[in-house]
């Protein structure tokens, strides 16, 4: 599968947090997040493994009991079922891959 997308297609998921599914296959799904300074992703968990990369900005990421100051170029992997949260320190862009596919993130139609 190949997707070529523009700047449309983002949806607000929480105050200051927008997401757009970039592409997905049978086993993985890739999402881009636009994160506004001061936004908070509350503590949560899900069964999906989540691997991410910070493209720009700065976030404070909590995975289980560990807290990380994440800067551009840093990456992470959160095992399924592990609690995590984030505070957005500066306007940020992150790209994350979920496995298995999060069906609730599959858009009704592609970009």
* pLDDT digit string, tens, across residues 58-105: 999 999 999 999 999 999 999 999 999 999 999 999 999 999 999 999
Q: Model-level pTM?
A: 0.91
Q: Strand pairing of 49-63 and 66-70? A: antiparallel
Predicted confidence (pLDDT) at residue 108 exceeds the cutoff of 80: no
Domains and CATH numbers, the chain: 11-101 (2.60.120.10)
Tokens of 9: 């297609």
Distance from C-alpha of 80 to C-alpha of 46, rounded to nearest angstrom: 6
User: For the chain, what is the mean pLDDT?
Assistant: 94
CB 29 within 8 A of CB 106: yes
């Amino acid at each position: 599968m190949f997707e070529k997308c523009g700047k449309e297609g983002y949806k607000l998921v929480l105050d200051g947090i927008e997401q757009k599914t970039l592409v997905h296959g049978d086993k993985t799904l890739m999402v881009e997040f636009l994160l506004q300074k001061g936004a908070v992703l509350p503590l949560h968990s899900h069964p999906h493994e989540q691997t991410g990369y910070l493209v720009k900005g700065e976030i404070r990421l909590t995975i289980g009991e560990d807290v990380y100051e994440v800067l551009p170029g840093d990456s992470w992997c959160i095992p399924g079922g592990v609690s995590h949260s984030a505070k957005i320190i500066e306007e940020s862009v992150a790209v994350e891959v979920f496995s298995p596919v999060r069906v609730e993130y599959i858009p009704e139609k592609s970009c």
